[in-house]
């Protein structure tokens, strides 16, 4: 059974992020299922740290982008909005080039908060980063 409140249009999700951090670092939404959402991010000069590997902050940006959008898609956007409250990231393995894919899955979807777990993997399916995002669900005014 699907957790999504509204239908998902991957092209629209990417378009909504135009002129944001997500678009500047090349994040693109690529796939979804009944209870998960995925996006890719290139590992290149935009996302490197000075030693030529993926910057941990870029991984966190991918994780928060995915988890926040996942939360948004689970609520009635006319009444509620989800905002990041806390995020942790465990950087497991480095990557120098290519593409990473983040996949967000909910751990908890409540009326006032959500908790999402985001796995970021390289093209060989190695775990690069494991992140947990807590979202506050706010009533729109």
Q: What positions carry a catalytic annotation?
A: 64
Going by their DSSP bridges, the two strands 36-43 and 28-33 should be labelled as antiparallel
* Segment 27-32 long-range contacts (CB within 8 Å, at least 24 positions apart): 27/61, 27/62, 27/65, 29/69, 30/101, 32/4, 32/8
Across the strands, what pairs with 121?
A: 101, 127
Nearest to 110 by CA among 138, 78, 79: 138
Structure tokens at 102: 């983040």
Structure tokens at 125: 């399916």
């Amino acid at each position: 059974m699907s957790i999504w409140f509204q239908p998902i249009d991957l092209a629209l999700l990417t378009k909504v992020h135009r002129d944001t951090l997500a678009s500047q670092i090349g994040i693109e939404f690529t796939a979804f299922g009944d209870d998960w959402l995925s996006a890719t991010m290139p590992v290149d000069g935009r996302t490197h740290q000075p030693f030529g590997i993926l910057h941990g902050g870029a991984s966190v940006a991918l994780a928060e982008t995915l988890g926040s959008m996942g939360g948004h898609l689970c609520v009635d956007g006319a009444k509620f909005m989800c905002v990041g409250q806390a995020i942790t990231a465990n950087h497991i393995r480095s990557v120098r080039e290519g593409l990473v894919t983040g996949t967000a899955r909910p751990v908890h979807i409540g009326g006032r908060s959500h908790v999402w777990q985001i796995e970021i993997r390289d093209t060989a399916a190695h775990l690069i980063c494991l992140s947990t995002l807590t979202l506050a669900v706010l009533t729109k005014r």
